[in-house]
A and B are shown apart, each in its own frame.
Chain A
Amino acid sequence: EVQLVQSGAEVKKPGESLKISCKGSGYSFPSYWIGWVRQMPGKGLEWMGLIYPGDTDARYSPSFQGQVTISADKSISTAYLQWGSLKASDTAIYYCARRSGYYHYDYWGQGTLVTVSS
């Protein structure tokens, strides 16, 4: 059974750093792109970027380029989303999802709530 399990909720202060994770199981993790999606409170879904764990090739939405870093460690089947300096506007739920053939996302993590508040 394919599963993506994300790390737990985080509460951080502005200016702090953060790295959240997404662990895949039940399939060949290096062989599928993993995408990250943001959902701000009460808002829609936003595509942030994705990574191919097999060679760590990462692509970013222009809106998120330079704001976050996507990485992966195929030896532990885990993808990451990280911030160097959080802002209050980074408060959101972040989902990881596996990209399958035909460029769609077929399996989703449960989401990680990130709260940034002083």
Chain B
Amino acid sequence: QTVVTQEPSFSVSPGGTVTLTCGLNSGSVSTTFYPSWYQQTPGQAPRTLIYSTDSRSSGVPDRFSGSILGNKAALTITGAQADDESHYYCVLYMGSGISVFGGGTKLTVL
């Protein structure tokens, strides 16, 4: 069974930089998985941040960026702000219409 892995939690200081990652229990993540990233605050629907590895969704600040780092997809927040404190989820496309969410990372800004 495919498992998409993310750090359960992470913390960053205001103004700092943090990189969240998205991996696979077996194998490497590449651009062919079209990794996308979503932000969810409590009580809200998810918001799309990044798609196709490194493309920012409309209206997303440029402090959010996506990439492949080693064998994982990565979401980097540069100059973290208090309202970046959220849950972040990656999604990988597995082919045949199937996608899989990672378990999510709870980001604390303090």
Contact = CB atoms under 8 A, between A and B. Distances in A.
- A, B: real partners: yes
Nearest to B58: A106
A29 interface: no
Interface residues of B, number: 26
Contacts of B57: 106
Interface in A6-44: 33, 35, 37, 44
A59 to B, nearest CB: 4
Contact of A102 (B38, B46, B51, B97): B51
Interface of B: 1, 34, 36, 38, 40, 45-48, 51-52, 55, 57, 87, 89, 91, 93, 96-104
23 contacts: A33-B97, A35-B99, A45-B40, A45-B46, A45-B89, A46-B101, A47-B91, A47-B99, A47-B101, A57-B97, A59-B98, A97-B46, A102-B36, A102-B51, A102-B55, A103-B52, A103-B99, A104-B51, A104-B52, A105-B36, A105-B91, A108-B45, A110-B45
